[in-house]
Structure 1
């Protein structure tokens, strides 16, 4: 294996993605390029592990750009734990800090989350939750697995006038997020431009859609950006107003999308699910936890 700073061909990267045991929008070369970050990859036989890197002060770091939950590896051997573990030896030593999130190999053996010392560096592997719904069957089969709480929420939503739009804009969605979620927590610098670049890129590729729900008087209640990648749909980004939260508008929106998507794709990926409340909400649709990995490394020397 070796480190390459973008010296592969687009055709080669596309072949690695096609041969991968999974299909995520983040893994495609054009998606990563659309985010405008400098990135390279650890490359071996039928294997490539991408990572963005930058200089912060006097240090170089490998990191996850905004707009990506988990990134790589890709290739026919990407699903092998041994390949991934071996690849860590080829991460450039100049990277003082490494903090990456990766697809979990099928034969991965869960290890201790404690830090360990290896070659003058501290490193650790941890698992992060992500909820995925199998929607390969009919909508009726999906609905049959809904929790009682979700059924109550959908009943509540039906008590309110709601209009569904299937072709809203990323700007509308992001401004709603900024207005309502911005009151609850600080939005990191650079997040807004990155997520909008990602959404516009996917729309232009025909691989995304913005669905929104509005109440009376054209009041925004909830919205979501769905990214399409092979047999997977990813809930890439969403926003909800205070009124939408009270009227269960997001439950209504996702339910309506599942009516449309059931049987068209195999998986509905809820993406980030670290908050307990979100995990319960995603699980109420019948989604199950399919963790991804986080790899962290600090140089001591």
Structure 2
């Protein structure tokens, strides 16, 4: 069995790391070096054979105990191996090694990286994706009739899609949602600004929808690489809801990127209304899995569940 080394982020070679992520079949921009650096409080990683395999592990420390957590705007990570999927033997070795260093783990992975281990629970979570390789007319033909009606309303209202700025999108979403969603912390949104300063293996860009008076109605922030564009943040005000601005935004982005080798990743939702909105675009379900292990000593095991 090749040796798995646990390296702190400061010890990692960023270029070799990103090369592994780019060549892994399950590679994702969530796992790019600078994106992890920006979004995680701290992180380390298991590394094998000169970066042929890597497993990022974001962590925090509380009461002197280190634990693996899911950072904001990172839906899932996993085990990434150059040009091939990780074998069951290597998956088992990676998770057992991680649990030697962390007594508590809350870690989301793609479905194929999921594993069954004693004392580890696994929960499937919904994610929805849309293949953009087809012509726009073909994609639109799969829209739900209710979405077509919403788009007609938006189109007759004179809405326009424009390129947006990340600072504007962050201000818009924070003002709109920070009371409704307490976990949407300003410091986490500011991390996106730091992440956007790097563009070697991913990009962060934005779209905005305005009316005829240039009033801002909706925004979306995308994290993307050469294969996938991920809707990591979006928001809409009351006027935008009435005029179906978010329906309009996603439709226009789909039209703009149709006939390209991209997958539009909606980031999914277990909320029925949000899931219905996404499915109306003809998106397919692509589950990911959250793994949970709690080996904390009693009574901490019962405090953090």
Say yes or no: does 1:96 pair with 2:93: no
Aligned-pair CA distance for 1:238:
0.8
Bigger mean CA offset, 9-18 vs 24-33: 9-18
Q: Give the equivalent residue in structure 2 for 1:128.
A: 125
Q: Is the 8 A contact 1:210 1:225 kept in 2?
A: yes
Q: Is the 8 A contact 2:177 2:184 kept in 1?
A: no
Q: Give the equivalent residue in structure 2 for 1:17.
A: 21
Describe how 1:212-223 pairs up with structure 2 within 5 A: 212-223=208-219
Q: Is the 8 A contact 1:233 1:265 kept in 2?
A: no
CA distance in 2, matches of 1:34, 1:78: 27
Q: Considering only aligned residues, what root-mean-square deviation do their CA atoms show, in Å?
A: 2.4
CA distance in 2, matches of 1:71, 1:201: 21
Q: 1:82 to 1:221 in 2, by over 3 A?
A: farther
Q: Is the 8 A contact 2:40 2:58 kept in 1?
A: no
Aligned-pair CA distance for 1:9:
2.0
CA distance in 2, matches of 1:55, 1:206: 29
Say yes or no: does 1:296 pair with 2:302: no
Q: Give the equivalent residue in structure 2 for 1:58.
A: 64
CA distance in 1, matches of 2:173, 2:15: 36
Q: Give the equivalent residue in structure 2 for 1:227.
A: 223
Describe how 1:135-284 pairs up with structure 2 within 5 A: 135-166=132-163, 168-189=164-185, 190-198=187-195, 200-201=196-197, 207-284=203-280
Q: Is the 8 A contact 1:157 1:249 kept in 2?
A: yes
CA distance in 1, matches of 2:15, 2:214: 46
Q: 1:131 to 1:82 in 2, by over 3 A?
A: farther
User: Structure 1 unaligned runs (5+)?
Assistant: none
Aligned-pair CA distance for 1:151:
0.7
User: Cα deviations across residues 60-94 of structure 1 (Å, max 9, x unaligned)?
Assistant: 11111112111232123445454323311001534
CA distance in 2, matches of 1:141, 1:37: 43
Q: Give the equivalent residue in structure 2 for 1:75.
A: 81
Q: Is the 8 A contact 1:163 1:215 kept in 2?
A: yes
User: Cα deviations across residues 180-212 of structure 1 (Å, max 9, x unaligned)?
Assistant: 2234332443322223333x3367977232110
Q: 1:277 to 1:81 in 2, by over 3 A?
A: farther
* Matched pairs, number: 289
Q: 1:134 to 1:292 in 2, by over 3 A?
A: same
CA distance in 2, matches of 1:68, 1:150: 29
User: Structure 2 unaligned runs (5+)?
Assistant: 298-305
CA distance in 2, matches of 1:49, 1:146: 38
Aligned-pair CA distance for 1:160:
1.3
2:267 alignment partner, SS class: strand
- Taking structure 2 as the reference length, the TM-score comes to 0.86
- Taking structure 1 as the reference length, the TM-score comes to 0.87
1:105 alignment partner, SS class: helix
Q: Is the 8 A contact 1:67 1:194 kept in 2?
A: no
Say yes or no: does 1:27 pair with 2:31: yes
CA distance in 2, matches of 1:72, 1:102: 5
Bigger mean CA offset, 88-97 vs 240-249: 88-97
Bigger mean CA offset, 14-23 vs 189-198: 189-198
Q: 1:247 to 1:145 in 2, by over 3 A?
A: same
